[in-house]
Amino acid sequence: MTSVFSEAKTSIDENLNGKHISELLLMWRAFRRDPFALFSLVILMFFIFGAIFAPLLAPFPDQGLGLPNVLEKFNPPSLAHPFGTDYLGRDVLSRVLYGGRSSLAIGFLVVALAALVGIPLGAISGYYGGWIDNLMMRITDIFLAFPPLLLAIALAAALEPSFTNTMLAISFTWWPWYARLVRAQTLSLRERNYIEAAKSIGVPNWKIITSHILPNVMTPVMVQATMDLGGAILVGAAVSFIGLGVQPPTADWGQMVSIGRIYFIERPWYAGAAGISIFLVSLAFNLLGDAMRDAADPHTRRIVQ
């Protein structure tokens, strides 16, 4: 009898894994035929590559790290300084490359932490239901009652302004969306036949959640996370814009826009370079998220194919 249960469990796992892999392959085929998806990937790889290799790509790495050069302040764009210089004479291109490190890192870390908290809470809430579900959903409702940006600003103001505190403050407001999304998917999945079959052969609840529930909710989570990356970068830039985020001399796009706005009429290159970077990265993440959503939809995927 034990061997029969073991064979049945193995068969369920193999079928689910095979189905999951084929689904991902179909998504990739539809995704790579979308020109907007490829365009967004090129833009994102350009900025990510620039942020990672900023010490090698920046014309003036010391100035990118904050070293002033007051003898050349507010020089217009030239061959020596393609994006001009700022109010302390620092090369704006170097500052943009180094600023991408903090701005992109905030976006990725916020989404990663929010998903890390929200996914298991949503899966547990949706799978068990009852008072556990009611308790967790009321907690998420409390967080969702506040606008994320205002709550992030309030938390950042209560903490000491820094990169870490900004990231934690934004993450604190972001996890309920993932909990809600995963809970909704789990409520549907727990009634499926393969979940009932897994229960009938004695598979533990934690194993069902980790092996059968979570792998099948990751597609909508990935789509949501991709679209949230642009929003998280915008919120991080907004917090830095009002002086509660990354502090000088560390470069940050939101901080550069905040300082550059004072001189924008006569010297637009400082704020403009950082502002355009924020715009392009946010746009690229949103286009990428839209493409992933279309690729994940079987009806849209069939049209693209």
List the one residue out of 287, 285, 286, 259 whose CA is nearest residue 272.
259
Residue 30 has pLDDT above 80, yes or no: no
List the one residue out of 164, 154, 295, 155 whose CA is nearest residue 223.
295
How far apart, in Å, are the Cα atoms of 158 and each of 135, 151, 165, 232, 244? 27, 11, 10, 19, 10
Model confidence, pTM: 0.84
Give tens-digit pLDDT for 53-79: 999 999 999 999 999 988 898 899 999
User: What are the beta bridge partners of residue 91?
Assistant: 85
> Residue holding tokens 């590559």?
49
Q: Are 254 and 245 in contact (CB under 8 A)?
A: yes
Give tens-digit pLDDT for 39-55: 888 999 999 999 999 99
Q: How confident is the model at residue 123 (pLDDT cuts 50, 70, 90)?
A: very high
Q: Are 232 and 170 in contact (CB under 8 A)?
A: yes
Give pLDDT, residue 297.
63
Give tens-digit pLDDT for 207-241: 888 888 888 888 889 888 988 999 999 999 999 99
Q: Are 166 and 240 in contact (CB under 8 A)?
A: yes
Give pLDDT, residue 220.
86
Mean pLDDT of all residues belonging to the chain: 84
Q: What's the token pair of residue 192?
A: 């499926």
Give the number of other Cβ atoms within 10 Å of residue 271's Cβ.
Answer: 21
Question: Rounded to an integer, what distance in angstroms lies between the CA atom of residue 92 and that of residue 256?
Answer: 9
Residue 7 has pLDDT above 50, yes or no: no
Q: Which residues contact 294 (CB under 8 A, 6 or more apart)?
A: 30, 34, 300, 301, 304
Q: Are 68 and 301 in contact (CB under 8 A)?
A: no
Per-residue pLDDT averaged across 93-99, rounded?
A: 95
58-84 burial, b at 16+ Cβ within 10 Å, e below that, comes to: bebbebbbeeebeebeebeeeeebebb
Per-residue pLDDT averaged across 235-262, rounded?
A: 91
Q: Which residues contact 133 (CB under 8 A, 6 or more apart)?
A: 125, 126, 183
Percent of the chain with pLDDT over 90: 46
Give pLDDT, residue 1.
44
Residue type, 48: I
Q: Which residue has the higher pLDDT, 196 or 11?
A: 196
Residue 5 has pLDDT above 80, yes or no: no
